[in-house]
């Protein structure tokens, strides 16, 4: 071959195929292999299949471009929400990565790099992942990256996608490194009652016999989608109705109610109990106080535990307050609890509580019951007690009683039990107070004995509630027995013996036994003066009650004289603004009105209402009582229209502050109706004269 016809070992111009340089002569045919091409669209990773009977959620419509973070507690359906979006996405590139560790993220990115021909076979995983992230920054193709179940933000260090595409994250974590300022944060919550109902109806459509009790089941598992799905799998496989499942749910451990691993629905990787146990384990590894704090919260109200209870020094066990506050924040970041915006309240899903409780030993429960009670009692004793906090304290005390009452009774009833009961009684929630004390008494009586001081106190409280509910005769009978029982068990001079006698005299007066009440008060006054002195608060209270009995007996003049002396003593001993002093002023004004000085009583009650409002605020029960007395005496003085106007406002204020069933609200309603009837009667009389 002439030299000029021989092939040269060089290439020039634009080449669109792979080139192999060879030396020497080439014999035979030459074959050109085309470069591999990318098949669009590119799909990397396994997107979970749609859950059976999927329920559309508000979060489905809240996904947008850029970084979107689906955050929520375990089992609410974050992954399913992300999967539905990924399946419907029309992007050129969709990459689904299980982001539980750095290694799984790198592996997902490396696979995407290979599919996009950004890395040759044999390229290291880290190098391939870096090339993929670089490609995302400048890619003209549309892309979606789903990072499912980010457990540890540190695992994503240096691996966050950036560019003009969309990144979708699912996580329980609320760390600032994930919930960035430029992120679209979407809270995925539990099902609504309607969604739960729709889900169960669809799942059990082929098993109509099993549907009975579906609403009860949904409420029992607190509308958690994961728990609903696993409950249905369990009951269908066993032919149980929803009612039968709930019965087992209430009496068996969660681990006993899980489907077998082969029976987990919708590709679930773990049962409800295991799902939460893993998170609890992570929390314990991050914060030493996490376990006792979670255990404590599991004994209290899931709808709101005051943060002050969780960080109380009785719980800290030697740790400082900063450690406790940091632990609460840690549990919030991990999705195990929810912290209110103002940081004052912590909520915890009831199923997380149950998993935590069922993992506790008997010794751990016993060791936490009293610290929890002390922390609650410390808030009950706050003065002035925050009215917004009281319902939460009642709910938390009730929850603690349900979880650990037997640890709070014996060798004596814990103070928190009495704090809650007395608060319910003073608030006029008499049925709730009665139920509370009856529950404590059922356990305390056999444990402590019928003559134990605290058992007798519970009986005194129940007898008073009985009277307040209108059974005056029954209250008199019970206080007669209590007087004798206290005398025999504790002695005649014990404060409960004296208290039983005072309560008996009060109820006798209410029952119309005025002479019996007068004699009982006179005897009690002599004994209390001897035992406590003439100026002890209990002695002064009996003097006030004795004067009231004299007034009821028709000796208004004698009552006024006694109340004037009592008021002088109270002002000297306790000062002009002590509650007992103010109460004595009110009694004196009422008696003066009964003696004919209604105008003077109105002036006195006007002053009292102003004093109470200045000292206690507009919504305090004593302020409202003073206003009721003022309006009632205005009506007595003939100022019906002004009294009606004041009573209409009082009904509104009492209802808002105390509740519609509170005795003061009921009294205000009654006085209002009396005033309106009086005005109608006057109008009818004037009409007749015309």
In tens, the pLDDT along 390-439 reads: 889 999 999 999 999 999 997 889 999 999 999 888 877 889 999 999 99
* Coil, strand or helix at 290: helix
The highest-confidence range among 20-24, 266-270, 296-300, 323-327, by mean pLDDT, is 296-300
- What CA–CA distance (Å, rounded) separates 188 from 84? 14
Residues 453-464: tens digit of each pLDDT: 999 999 999 999
Contact 365, 326 (CB under 8 A): no
Instruction: Give pLDDT, residue 26.
Output: 42
- If pLDDT is split at 50, 70 and 90, which confidence band does 13 have? very low
| Per-residue pLDDT tens digits for 537-570 | 899 999 999 998 999 999 999 999 999 999 999 9
pLDDT at 620 over 80: yes
d(CA 330, CA 309): 17
Contacts of 298 (CB under 8 A, 6+ apart): 348, 352, 353, 354, 356, 357, 360, 403
- Residues 185-209 have a mean pLDDT of 93
pLDDT at residue 22 is higher than 70: no
Residue 644 has pLDDT above 80, yes or no: yes
Closest CA to 673 of 648, 649, 656, 690: 648
Residue 191 has what pLDDT? 93
Position 298 confidence tier, pLDDT thresholds 50, 70, 90: very high
Q: Which of 20-24, 196-200, 672-676 has the highest mean pLDDT?
A: 196-200
Q: How confident is the model at residue 324 (pLDDT cuts 50, 70, 90)?
A: confident
List pLDDT tens digits, range 368-392.
999 999 999 989 887 567 777 888 9
355: left (phi over 0), alpha (psi -120 to 50) or beta: alpha
Pick the residue with more confidence: 313 or 81? 81
**Could you give the CA distance from residue 597 to residue 575 in angstroms, rounded to a whole number?**
26
Contacts of 217 by beta carbon, 8 Å cutoff, 6+ apart: 200, 228, 231, 242, 243, 245, 246, 249
74-91 pLDDT, tens digit each: 888 899 999 998 988 889
Q: What is the pLDDT of residue 17?
A: 37
CA distance 78 to 129: 26
Contact 626, 608 (CB under 8 A): yes
> What pLDDT is attached to residue 686?
54
Burial 559-578, CB ≥16 within 10 A → b, else e: bbebbeebbebbeeebeeee
Which of 140, 143, 112, 139 minimizes the C-alpha distance to 128? 112
Average pLDDT, the chain: 87
pLDDT band at 319 (very low <50, low <70, confident <90, very high): low
Reported confidence tier of residue 471, pLDDT bands at 50, 70, 90: very high
Residue 27 pLDDT level (bands cut at 50, 70, 90): very low
Q: Is the pLDDT of residue 649 over 90?
A: yes
CA 187 – CA 525 distance, rounded (Å)? 65
What would the mean pLDDT of 52-81 be, rounded to a whole number? 84
Residue 316 pLDDT: 61
Burial 293-308 (b: 16+ CB within 10 A, else e): bbbbbbbbbbebbbbe
Q: Smallest Cα–Cα separation from 423: which of 459, 454, 379?
A: 379
> Dihedral of CA 289/290/293/299: which sign?
negative
Q: What's the whole-number mean pLDDT along residues 597-620?
A: 90
Q: Give Dmax (Cα) for the chain.
A: 148
Residues 6+ apart with CB under 8 A from 487: 497
């Amino acid at each position: 071959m002439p030299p000029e016809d021989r092939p040269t070992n060089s290439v020039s111009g634009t080449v669109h195929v792979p080139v192999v340089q060879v030396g020497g002569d080439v014999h035979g045919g030459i074959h050109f292999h085309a470069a591999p091409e990318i098949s669009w669209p590119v799909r990397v990773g396994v997107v979970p299949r749609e859950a059976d009977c999927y329920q559309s959620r508000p979060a489905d419509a809240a996904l947008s471009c850029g970084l979107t973070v689906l955050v929520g507690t375990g089992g609410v359906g974050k992954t399913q929400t992300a999967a539905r979006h990924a399946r419907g996405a029309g992007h050129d590139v969709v990459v689904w990565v299980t982001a539980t560790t750095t290694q799984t993220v790198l592996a997902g990115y490396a696979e995407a790099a290979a599919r996009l021909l950004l890395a040759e076979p044999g390229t290291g995983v880290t190098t391939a992942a870096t090339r993929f992230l670089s490609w995302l920054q400048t890619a003209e193709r549309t892309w979606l990256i789903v990072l499912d179940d980010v457990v540890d933000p540190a695992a994503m260090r240096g691996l966050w996608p950036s560019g003009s595409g969309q990144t979708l994250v699912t996580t329980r974590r609320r760390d600032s490194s994930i919930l960035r300022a430029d992120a679209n944060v979407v809270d995925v919550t539990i099902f609504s009652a309607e969604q739960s109902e729709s889900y169960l109806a669809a799942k059990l459509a082929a098993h109509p016999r099993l549907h009975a009790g579906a609403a009860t089941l949904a409420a029992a598992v607190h509308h958690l989608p994961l728990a609903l799905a696993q409950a249905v799998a369990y009951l269908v496989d066993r032919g149980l109705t929803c009612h039968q499942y709930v019965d087992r749910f209430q009496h068996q451990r969660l681990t006993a109610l899980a489907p077998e691993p082969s029976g987990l629905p919708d590709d679930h990787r773990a049962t409800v109990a295991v799902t939460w146990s893993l998170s609890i384990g992570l929390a314990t590894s991050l914060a030493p106080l996490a376990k006792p704090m979670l255990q404590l919260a599991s004994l209290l109200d899931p709808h709101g535990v005051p943060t002050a209870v969780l960080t109380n020094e009785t719980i800290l066990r030697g740790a400082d307050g900063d450690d406790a506050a940091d632990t609460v924040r840690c549990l919030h970041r991990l999705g195990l609890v929810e912290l209110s915006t103002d940081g004052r309240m912590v909520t915890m899903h009831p199923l997380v509580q149950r998993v935590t409780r069922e993992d506790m030993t008997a010794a751990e429960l016993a060791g936490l019951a009293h610290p929890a009670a002390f922390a609650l009692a410390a808030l009950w004793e706050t003065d002035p007690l925050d009215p917004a906090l009281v319902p939460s304290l009642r709910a938390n005390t009730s929850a603690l009683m349900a979880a650990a009452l037997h640890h709070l009774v014996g060798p004596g009833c814990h103070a928190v039990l009495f704090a809650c009961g007395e608060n319910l009684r003073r608030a006029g929630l008499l049925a709730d107070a009665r139920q509370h004390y009856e529950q404590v008494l059922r356990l305390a009586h056999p444990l402590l004995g019928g003559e134990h001081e605290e058992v007798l106190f519970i009986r005194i409280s129940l007898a008073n509630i009985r009277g307040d509910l209108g059974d005056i005769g029954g209250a008199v009978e019970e206080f007669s027995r209590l007087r004798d029982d206290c005398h025999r068990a504790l002695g005649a001079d014990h404060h409960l013996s004296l208290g039983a006698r005072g309560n008996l005299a009060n109820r006798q007066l209410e029952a119309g036994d005025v002479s019996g009440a007068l004699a009982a008060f006179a005897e009690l006054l002599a004994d209390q003066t001897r035992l406590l002195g003439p100026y002890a608060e209990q002695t002064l209270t009996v003097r006030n009650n004795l004067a009231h009995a004299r007034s009821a007996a028709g000796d208004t003049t004698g009552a006024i004289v006694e109340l004037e002396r009592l008021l002088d003593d109270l002002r000297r001993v306790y000062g002009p603004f002590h509650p007992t002093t103010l109460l004595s002023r009110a009694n004196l004004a009422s008696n003066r009105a009964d003696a004919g000085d209604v105008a003077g009583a109105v002036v006195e009650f006007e002053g009292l209402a102003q004093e109470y409002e200045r000292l206690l605020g507009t919504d305090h029960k004593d302020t409202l009582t003073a206003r009721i007395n003022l309006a009632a005496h205005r009506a007595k003085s003939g100022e019906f229209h002004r009294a009606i106007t004041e009573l209409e406002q009082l009904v509104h204020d009492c209802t808002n502050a105390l509740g519609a069933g509170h005795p003061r609200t009921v009294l205000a309603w009654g006085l209002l109706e009396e005033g309106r009837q009086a005005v109608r009667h006057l109008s009818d009389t004037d009409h007749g004269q015309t």
